[in-house]
Amino acid sequence: MKLASLPQGRDGRLIVVSDDLAWYADADHIVPTMQGLLDDWDRHCPRLEALAIELAHEAIPRKRFHEREACAPLPRAFQWVDGSAYVNHVELVRKARGAELPDSFWTDPLMYQGGSDDLRGGREPISLANESWGCDFEAEIVVVTGDVPQGVTPQQAINYVRLVGLVNDVSLRNLIPGELAKGFGFVQSKPASHFSPVFVTPAGLGAAWVGGKLNLPLMVDLNQQSFGRIEAGEECTFDFGVLIAHLAKTRRIGAGTIIGSGTVSNRDADGSPGRPVAQGGRGYACIAEQRMVETIANGQPVTPFLKNGDTVRIEMRDAKGRSIFGAIDQVVGQA
Amino acid sequence: MKLASLPQGRDGRLIVVSDDLAWYADADHIVPTMQGLLDDWDRHCPRLEALAIELAHEAIPRKRFHEREACAPLPRAFQWVDGSAYVNHVELVRKARGAELPDSFWTDPLMYQGGSDDLRGGREPISLANESWGCDFEAEIVVVTGDVPQGVTPQQAINYVRLVGLVNDVSLRNLIPGELAKGFGFVQSKPASHFSPVFVTPAGLGAAWVGGKLNLPLMVDLNQQSFGRIEAGEECTFDFGVLIAHLAKTRRIGAGTIIGSGTVSNRDADGSPGRPVAQGGRGYACIAEQRMVETIANGQPVTPFLKNGDTVRIEMRDAKGRSIFGAIDQVVGQA
């Protein structure tokens, strides 16, 4: 089942979207908002699944779905945390900051608590007040959980995944070193994140969703050029079960918690950091990685961070080439 | 005006509480929840103020208010961040970890993004699954904001404070060093926070609220013994205007954001770290400070972190000795 929110009030109104993203049916008569659904999933889900089947069979009135009209599936959430499933990414961006990767990072997930009061749609511009902040995109997979009890195991945790989607976890790279040096994580260096127009249930992902990983390539374009074609199911050190269990070690987790994978990242076949797409590699899901690889090769980065007017597109397609979550497709614009 | 939430669903139901905390009037016919009020403050506030006046004049049916029956004013929130207004506290706990205090900490606030999916009432037990985690209380002032535009000045920011209250920002001290060493802030080391039963509008605080600071002593008891009597208006390096502006530098802030002051902390009159209450000092708003002072004096800490069965009480009283926010008064209990 595919779900989205259209703009209405602060929390949007829930719709069910057809598998091909072409049509939708209103769902707010069943439950008004995505958060309301997550608050009482077992009660509402069967009726929404029935609605999705009627939509697929054209048995009910349907309307044209336009990705550009959707807001974030959860325009605000009670929790957004971001993990580090792809340790290759962590190693590269730490190298770029001159920081070593501790061995423990391969067994103990990095995770940061993010701001969730203002989550934005995939077609909204990236609001950037100051280009000198070093704005970067980070393309990631996210899951949304139900209520998770404290102390769940990774195996149990996977069962609490209600929805899966994509995020552009926008980062202000030039503010990060100063902020991380203070030791308390990200506040100013992580502005609003942007989410894919559509979130999908694990069952709706079919065989691509296995063991808390999504085995499909993540497609990232910068200014209409292919920037990354990264396999999200490969080199994913921590599946979402591990990330959820990490978060739930010392506290229970509330319904509607969004957990990110961290920037999707692959090494090259020979074990070195991946090559750019233009050089036959899989490329990158953020600019910082490409800059680091350029620095390793030539002593300095070449690719600039985002400037006003740049465009970013993040999408995932199934084996038949059909968009799964719709595309995050946005321009960088003055705040 | 004083407001609280009684348990109902996930977000409680809004009530107006009398100034003496003895009575309340239902307010959910005006707006069902505290978050709903914050979402549309200008619309609802005049009617709630009128209700508060009727309650004070006994012009409407009133019910007995019992602090123990209140849940957190916001049982979940879209954002909870915690600052470091009291740099004396930061210096002491860093000393305890063997870390120096950078000079910039006196001008650039520390702030961390906290989990806000599960905020608890002031009479609920502190849920502690493992005493070896080193559980500590941290008594703080909090404010709740309306919508704040990006880039506000500290002076402007004070005008967006809608409510003021108290928090016990529970910390798991023995998990902090390992987590902070990873560089991404707190996740496992900050379990659910507990809030005062009542939140109060700035106007309701009268002369005690000046320039984004609350000029009253914070009273902290551990196991029925006075542990801290700290002046919240003194040595407060960053007022709430500065903290809000810090958070809003790179993004707008959504209504219902809770911002904490950080642990309230005073030096001694001679400039040294404060003495314990038992030695004639003002004491401390967390155990870690007292342990640090013990370590400085005797080479090792004496006061243990919280154990199951310990009790913590945090309260603030006005010049006439009347409780302002009600008391956080809780036992440490097995999770």
Spell out which residues of chain A touch residue B253, defining contact as CB-CB under 8 Å: 117-118
- Please give the average per-residue pLDDT across A152-163, as a whole number: 98
Average the pLDDT over A67-88 and give the result: 96
What is the mean predicted confidence (pLDDT) over A293-314? 94
Q: What is the number of other CB atoms lying within 10 angstroms of the CB of residue A58?
A: 10
Average pLDDT, chain B: 95
CA distance A219 to chain B (A): 27
pLDDT interval class at A269 (50, 70, 90): confident
Q: Using an 8 Å CB-CB cutoff, list chain B residues near A118.
A: 251-254
- Name every residue whose Cβ is closer than 8 Å to that of residue A206 and which is 6 or more positions away in sequence: none
Q: What percent of chain A has pLDDT over 70?
A: 99
Which tens digit of pLDDT belongs to each residue from A31-48?
999 999 999 999 999 999
Q: Determine which of B79, B93, B184 to mutate to test the interface with A (most A C-beta atoms within 10 Å).
A: B184
Band of the pLDDT at A221, cuts 50, 70, 90? Answer: very high
Sequence-distant (≥ 6) Cβ neighbours of residue B9 within 8 angstroms:
none
B-proximal residues of A, 257-286, CB under 8 Å? 257
Q: Residue B182 and residue A110: Cβ atoms within 8 Å?
A: yes
- Per-residue pLDDT of B200-213, as tens digits, reads 999 999 999 999 99
- Which is nearest to B141 in space by CA: B15, B239, B19? B239
Q: For the whole model, what pTM was predicted?
A: 0.97
Tokens 């005008």: give the residue. Answer: B159
Query: Of all residues in chain B, what percent carry a pLDDT higher than 90?
Result: 88
Q: Which of B166, B163, B197, B156 is nearest to B48 (CA)?
A: B163
**Residue scoring higher pLDDT (A94 or A75):** A75
Cβ contact, residue pair B192, A254, below 8 Å: no
Dist. CA A190–CA A97, nearest whole Å? 17
Average pLDDT (B111-129) is 97
Interval B34-70: pLDDT, tens: 999 999 999 999 999 999 999 999 999 999 999 999 9
User: Can you read off the two tokens belonging to residue A271?
Assistant: 């074990």
List the beta bridge partners of residue A17. Answer: A2, A24
pLDDT of B335 over the 60 cut: no
Give me the phi and psi of A224, to 5 degrees please: 65, 10
Per the CB < 8 Å rule, is A129 touching B250? yes
Report the SS3 class of residue A132: helix
Determine if residue B130 is left, alpha or beta; phi over 0 gives left, psi from -120 to 50 gives alpha, anything else beta: beta
* Contact check, Cβ <8 Å, B113/A187: yes
pLDDT at A335 over 70: no
- Alpha-carbon gap: B255 to the closest alpha carbon of chain A (Å): 8
More confident site: B269 or A175:
A175
Q: Where are the beta strands (DSSP E) in B91-215?
A: 112-114, 120-121, 126-128, 135-136, 139-145, 161-168, 171-172, 194-195, 199-200, 209-210, 213-214
Element spanning B176, H or E: helix B176-181
- CA torsion sign for A196, A199, A202, A206 is negative
ipTM tops 0.90: yes
pLDDT tens for each residue of B176-228: 999 998 889 999 999 999 999 999 999 999 999 999 999 999 999 999 999 99
- Give, in degrees to the nearest 5, the angle at Cα B210 between B78 and B121: 35
CA of A260 to nearest chain B CA: how many angstroms apart? 14
Q: Please, is B308 exposed, middle or buried when counting C-beta atoms within 10 Å of its C-beta (0-12, 13-18, 19+)? A: middle
Q: Which residue has the tokens 């913590």?
A: B312
Which letter, b or e, does each residue of A301-320 get, where b requires 16 or more Cβ atoms within 10 Å of its Cβ? beeebbeeebbbbbbbeeee
Lowest mean pLDDT among A93-97, A159-163, A233-237, B212-216: A93-97
- What's the confidence (pLDDT) of residue A98? 78
Pseudo-torsion of CA B85, B89, B94, B100, nearest 10°? 70
Judge: B115–A39 Cβ closer than 8 Å, yes or no. no
Q: Which of A115, A185, A256 sits opposite B184 (nearest CB)?
A: A185
At residue A325, the pLDDT reads 98
pLDDT at B32: 98
pLDDT (0 to 100) of residue A160: 98
Q: State residue B98's pLDDT score.
A: 78
pLDDT classification of B271: cutoffs 50, 70, 90? confident
- Round to the nearest angstrom and report the end-to-end CA distance of chain B: 35
Higher-confidence residue of B88 and A123: namely A123
Q: Which chain A residues contact residue B185 at CB under 8 A? A: 112-113, 183-186
Which of A3-7, A74-78, A276-280 has the weakest average pLDDT?
A276-280
